[in-house]
Structure 1
Amino acid sequence: MIRYPAVAGQFYPLGEELVDMLKAFFRDLGEPGGERKITAGIAPHAGYVFSGYTASRTYKAIYEDGLPETFVIFGPNHTGLGSPIAVYPEGKWVTPLGEVEVDGELAREIVKNSGIADLDEIAHKYEHSIEVQLPFIQYIAERAGKTVRIVPITLSIQDEEVSEDLGGAVFEAARELGRDVVVIASTDFMHYGTFYGYVPFRARANELPNLVKEWDLRVIRRILDFDVEGMFREIREMDHTMCGPGGVGASVVFSRLIGAVEAELLHYTTSFDISRSTDAIVGYASIVMRRA
């Protein structure tokens, strides 16, 4: 089973232009690590011109910490296709940088330990939220001289119960198979503006970027505290439009179970910094969680 790229040439460039862009993002890349303290990372999934540098901060930290055997990648399901909780079963994913193998054994074990997940490739066919993470993973894996695998999981249901179920299922599956895993939660944060049909109140245009950051930091503080219930409470109270809270919650649950004790915000920006448009402002954050 092969999953071909759906958004290459749209969300990220093709060929040498992609390689050159990744080299620019990672120009400050340090040495590959081996201690393996990072348990999970959060990275955005917008077009690379807007959020690529922020996403690279998550993968730079993982590279310098040490790469796992398998990345379990949670992404929101924007298309509505397939199972509500869809674990890609097996095979390979293709990007302009080559192929990445799916860890089919771990995928099946996650579904076995979950009460809600299904093995399903249809949900992944056109979804971009996981695909855009792969060139970053391929780049750091090639630099480290290491082969890694992935387990892609899309979510169209996102709440505390889903987070608890999936975070626990990944933890149990990794423990049962003895698999070294890092969880990636692919998400953008606040989506504000007429482009998204979301303008809860009118504010001066020059105030909006700071307001979006303020709203996002309320959610991010809960993530940094490993507080899944608090994160969802903030989202509901603000009517926050973060698109991947379920995957973020699952990454927090997994990290707590595996012994993470700290989380760090590495980088934050908004699309306004590039577009200068207040018709559509999206927040992007890079976060990692670590064991002691």
Structure 2
Amino acid sequence: MPAVRPAAVAGTFYPSDALQLQREVGDCLAAADSAVAESAHPPKLLIVPHAGYVYSGAVAAQAYALLAPWRDRITRVVLIGPAHRCAVRALAAPEADAFDTPLGRIALEHASLARLGTPPQVVHDDWPHAFEHSLEVQLPFLQMVLDSFALVPLLVGSANPSELAQVLDRLWGGDETLIVVSSDLSHYLPYAQAQARDRATVQRILAFDGALVPEEACGALAINGALQAARSHGLQPRLLDLRNSGDTAGDRRRVVGYAAIAFEAPPS
């Protein structure tokens, strides 16, 4: 029998009922107004938030909507995000064969994980993934916008940018491979203060400033490594959306910031 990681946050971060989940994700995607860039290639890298869908789903959808023209071309997703619940020295790859969501089972691409070999920054361990939400909340969106894909999930602990960039380079691939970085921005600041901090953080991301700290983005270490890899491959960033929970479903006294950013190959 294959080893399967069951959905851990279905029913809390997003609906556990498959039909309700399809409707909620579908509504977010239908409302997205991201312009698809004139390009012969799909976006290579996305930064998307990972809060409950009521808070950040509309922002995430702005990035995922870009994938619609490429739903049959993207067949592998490298998904990285912060480890919130378990200490990880650098990067944690699961040993499971698949991840489940209410929309079905997603096979892990162990050939890609095997190609990483055993660099010191990668550990193979299911435990950090068992209850982690930062990767899981991205899966139903991916299942809705792509026809079929294999998953390469990595949780980021204390990895430095070069360690993560080295791993991403090994997984880079071509148009068949999408890299998704899961991160929220500031946490629990008053609305106006959060807006100012998040605008500054996004400007640093757009400038490839890979020295973010967790106070600016909970996935700062994942973003920093991804920025190093994106810059070395000549990608161009594009801000799609920037909001916070005070704009969506929360009060404005203590908000969490969300951004959707796409990194694309420059026009030829």
Same fold (TM over 0.5): yes
- Larger radius of gyration, structure 1 or 2? 1
Matched-pair contact (CA < 8 Å) for 2:74–2:176: yes
Q: In the aligned structure 1, how far is the partner of 2:60 from the partner of 2:75?
A: 20
CA drift at 1:241: 4.3
CA drift at 1:111: 4.8
SS in structure 1 at match of 2:151: strand
Q: Tell me, which stretches of 5 or more residues in structure 2 are unaligned?
A: none
Provide closer, same or farther for how the CA distance between residues 28 and 216 of structure 1 changes in structure 2, counting only shifts above 3 A: closer
Q: In the aligned structure 1, how far is the partner of 2:185 from the partner of 2:175?
A: 30
Matched-pair contact (CA < 8 Å) for 1:75–1:130: yes
Aligned to 1:183: 179
Matched-pair contact (CA < 8 Å) for 2:10–2:16: yes
Aligned to 2:238: 264
Provide closer, same or farther for how the CA distance between residues 257 and 117 of structure 1 changes in structure 2, counting only shifts above 3 A: same
Provide closer, same or farther for how the CA distance between residues 253 and 62 of structure 1 changes in structure 2, counting only shifts above 3 A: farther
Matched-pair contact (CA < 8 Å) for 2:89–2:121: no
How many residue pairs get aligned? The number is: 259
User: Letter of the aligned partner of 2:165 in structure 1?
Assistant: G
Aligned to 1:247: 222
User: Letter of the aligned partner of 2:260 in structure 1?
Assistant: S
CA drift at 1:180: 3.3
Q: In the aligned structure 1, how far is the partner of 2:130 from the partner of 2:69?
A: 32
User: 1:58-207 maps to which residues of 2 (within 5 A)?
Assistant: 58-65=63-70, 67-80=73-86, 84-112=90-118, 114-141=119-146, 146-158=147-159, 162-174=160-172, 180-193=176-189
- Identity %, equivalent residues: 26
- When normalised by structure 2's length, the TM-score is 0.88
Aligned to 1:198: none
Provide closer, same or farther for how the CA distance between residues 242 and 34 of structure 1 changes in structure 2, counting only shifts above 3 A: closer
**1:227 and 2:202 equivalent?**
no
**1:53 and 2:55 equivalent?**
no
User: Letter of the aligned partner of 1:12 in structure 2?
Assistant: Y
CA drift at 1:246: 1.4
Q: In the aligned structure 2, how far is the partner of 1:48 from the partner of 1:183?
A: 21
Deviates more, 1:34-43 or 1:282-291: 34-43
CA drift at 1:110: 2.8
Q: In the aligned structure 2, how far is the partner of 1:152 from the partner of 1:84?
A: 14
**1:20 and 2:23 equivalent?**
yes
Q: In the aligned structure 1, how far is the partner of 2:192 from the partner of 2:50?
A: 21
Give the structure with the larger helix fraction. Answer: 1
Aligned to 1:196: none
User: Letter of the aligned partner of 1:17 in structure 2?
Assistant: Q
User: Letter of the aligned partner of 1:106 in structure 2?
Assistant: S
Provide closer, same or farther for how the CA distance between residues 248 and 106 of structure 1 changes in structure 2, counting only shifts above 3 A: same
SS in structure 2 at match of 1:265: strand
Deviation per CA, 1:199-243: give whole Å up to 9, x if none: xxxxxxxxx3122111011111111122213xx2xx4xxx83421
CA drift at 1:252: 1.6
CA drift at 1:81: 5.1
Aligned to 1:11: 13
Question: RMSD of the alignment, in Å?
Answer: 2.4
Q: Tell me, which stretches of 5 or more residues in structure 1 are unaligned?
A: 194-207
SS in structure 2 at match of 1:129: helix
Provide closer, same or farther for how the CA distance between residues 274 and 171 of structure 1 changes in structure 2, counting only shifts above 3 A: same
CA drift at 1:148: 0.6
Q: In the aligned structure 2, how far is the partner of 1:139 from the partner of 1:173?
A: 23
